[in-house]
Amino acid sequence: MQFGHFDDEAREYVITTPHTPYPWINYLGAQDFFGLVSHMGGGYCFYRDAKMRRLTRYRYNNIPVDDGGRYFSINDGGDVWSPSYRPYKTELDRFETRHGMGYTRITGARGGVEASVLLFVPVDINAEIHQVTLTNTSDAAKSLQLFSFIEFCLWNAEDDQTNYQRNLNIGEVEVEDGAIYHKTEYRERRDHYAVYGVNAPVAGFDTDRDSFLGYGNGFDEAVVPHTGKATNSVASGWYPIGSHQLSVELEPGESKQFTFVLGYLENAADDKWEAPSVVNKKGGRELLAHFATNEATDAEFAKLNAYWDNLLGSYMVESGDDKLNRMVNIWNQYQCMVTYNMSRSASYFETGIGRGMGFRDSNQDLLGFVHLVPERARERIIDIASTQFEDGSAYHQYQPLTKRGNNAIGSGFNDDPLWLIAGVAAYIKETGDFAILDESVPFDNDESKATSLMDHLKRSFDHPLHNMGPHGLPLIGRADWNDCLNLNCFSTTPGESFQTTENQAGGVAESVFIAGMFCAIGPDYAALARRRGDEAEASRAEAAVSAMKQAVVDHGWDGAWFRRAYDYYGNVVGGDENAEAKIWIEPQGYCIMGGVGLEDGKAIQALDSVRERLNTPHGIVLLNPAFTEYHVELGEVSSYPPGYKENAGIFCHNNPWIIIAETIVGRNEYAWEYYKQITPAYREEISEVHRLEPYVYAQMIAGKDAQRHGEAKNSWLTGTASWNFVTVSQYLLGVRPDYDGLVVDPCIGAEVGEFTVRRQVRGATYEIHVTNSGSGRASLTVDGEPIEGNHVPYAPAGATVKVEARV
């Protein structure tokens, strides 16, 4: 069952009913100002940091679901409704939401009136724009009252939800010419304020929530829209809001358009006031003046579309498979940019107050967006590396506003250091910017301890070597990639964090997964050292990788698959001797990506075990059999019910590692099958089962042991986005950057047939036409000349290179 459809030409997903299984959302913003918006207008916006600079309030886990957001209410002779359906749930003659690249357009029609709301954040302006168009589709004149509504958050979103003894007393606003200025805490410590205005005369306004809603009322019972008259309330403590009333007269067939602007402004410390206790509104006035005409709004919207045209032009595929085309060309790359901006901090499953930017997460996100914004990838690399410690470890998270490590989470996740090498290598392969390795980068943001980025990479590489267990495998620390495998925690206290509680010392918990990572990522460190003329360091690194491969073979192989780990006591985790969780997905992918088992058949055996024991029609589960009881020595992983999240759920993030592994061993059809199982466009027709957005990846799909097998959770902010783009673009379609050229090595199902990839890299354009039979390795001709191997040398900037590949 579908609840909408793709419009590929417009690069939109069109939702045709408000009654989706869950709120289907979009993200607004590309630089510093961001918003989340559901198909019914729910969500919120913030400047840079969803915790510390939240402009509008949103209530998670609310009943009804998705209550609160940006509402536009129409009173048509006493008939009160909204084009977003919510909050009134008045039945509409027509409903449509179009989620596009950085914008959402919600349209509703009722009683001869059509109302359309375009929401977007301009590329270089810290504001959310709401352009409302009202059209009289009847044959009689209409006299309407239009009401806007947003609810201000008191900036710190966590404090806003908890510190009521203070917060219910401090709300302050100013109103000037119908524009509402939110200035809570501005007099004491803040240098920022918000403004909400409209480019039309207002018939009234409200800034106090109780006055607008009526005490004790829900949004659907709001007094002001139902009476058709604003109260001109001025908030004093309690709950500040922003609402405007516009009186709109429409002749038959006439349309009128209004631009509402919700902006974030800052003032210098010595320029905060224009009069005693009166905010200096110069910036706010200039912002509203910029959008004084609807033509100006249209121009900013055109800039936004041009911005995405440019970004999405760097990698494109033309094939006979529309689902493949739309995922590669539009939605997967779009989601990669959103994960770059948000990491894992703000979604409809992450409140924006509990997590910052992840060290591991952001390095993996780099893999999917570096081709889109390489200059911003460079900045992100420096930010990430600056949170590293001198021993090579790192803060697990950092805050986007301060770019400093998050002490609440701390460090000790022993896979973190290696991801920095992966991110830097991906950046250099894309750009050729080896100079970044000479950049001076601090440890723990302390400039007195700054050293070269290359030295940071050395310490990353050495970290697992300096933290080895008795089997010659890396110690796991607090956790490796799987934050729920906590082999040193032993938590028996309800509510205690598995990741941050004090770990027991003296254990020998080792990670086969980190060993596989080391084998896969270590060769890039060796290559970078060699290109800097440090042959001794390159040789040392290669020897260490070789030794780690042998340790995996000797102690990480269980006979038919790779083990997952050794626990605190030295017992096997992920072996046939275990009654539960005999096999785990992570090492099967990464050990093979690291080259283990390719020559002696172990790789094929492991992948066959994955297919037999882990695969389902909805994707590959993380482990099998599922845990049915709590194992204190394993931590959070066994605390989930069977089939959910890390306990045998389909964790989409690591499905791509198996897909890549299948391409490495040359099994095109299995790789293609696994790709389609979790890719949202191929799941659109079962949206009633999948439940979440059919245009972006989810973190998790319920596994075969769950009651709701196939149901997704945690959409949008997941490493699945970057990893699946790497998988489809670099391994299935087979076009990936290397240090000296493009590797062209397609490995995709025969049903895809002929396809063409257009890839821009280092200023040149590569048009790669593939004749695909679905088996074997490609033979290449470059500009009409046959070449040996699969490396196409980089061409000068401005050149166009034509490649023919026959598989």
Go through the chain and tell me how many residues it has.
807
Q: What is the pLDDT of residue 26?
A: 98
| Cβ-proximal residues to 502 (8 Å cutoff; 6+ apart), any chain | none
Burial class of residue 559, CB neighbours in 10 A (0-12, 13-18, 19+): exposed
Instruction: Give me the active site residues, please.
Output: 483
Q: What is the pLDDT of residue 556?
A: 98
Rounded distance, CA 145 to CA 229, Å?
Answer: 8
Measured at the alpha carbon of residue 577, what is the angle toward residues 573 and 580, in degrees to the nearest 5? 65
Q: 474, 514 in Cβ contact below 8 A?
A: yes
Q: Is residue 704 within a helix (H) or strand (E), and if so which, with residue range?
A: none
Q: What is the pLDDT of residue 403?
A: 86
Tokens 């209409």 map to which residue? 142
Q: 197, 243 in Cβ contact below 8 A?
A: no
Q: What is the pLDDT of residue 505?
A: 84
Q: 636, 646 in Cβ contact below 8 A?
A: yes
Give me the amino acid identity at 685: E
Rounded distance, CA 797 to CA 478, Å?
Answer: 46
Q: What is the pLDDT of residue 102?
A: 98
Per the omega criterion (within 30 degrees of 0), is the bond before 656 cis? Answer: no
Q: What is the pLDDT of residue 118?
A: 98
Long-range contacts of 316-322 (CB under 8 A, 24+ apart): 316/757, 316/758, 317/733, 317/755, 317/756, 317/757, 317/758, 318/755, 318/756, 318/758, 319/752, 319/753, 319/754, 319/755, 319/756, 320/752, 320/753, 320/754, 320/755, 321/751, 321/752, 322/6, 322/8
Where does 2-42 show beta strands of DSSP type E? 4-7, 12-15, 25-28, 33-38
Burial class of residue 540, CB neighbours in 10 A (0-12, 13-18, 19+): middle
Q: From 465, 335, 477, select the one nearest 396 (Cα to Cα).
A: 477
Q: What is the pLDDT of residue 773?
A: 81
| Cβ-proximal residues to 771 (8 Å cutoff; 6+ apart), any chain | 754, 804, 805, 806, 807
Where does 354-465 show beta strands of DSSP type E? 357-358, 397-398, 440-443, 446-452
Q: 774, 762 in Cβ contact below 8 A?
A: no
Q: What is the pLDDT of residue 398?
A: 86
Q: Is the pTM of this model over 0.95?
A: yes
Q: How many CA atoms lie within 13 A of 251 on its CB side?
A: 1
Q: What is the pLDDT of residue 354?
A: 81
Q: Which residues of the chain have pLDDT under 50?
A: none
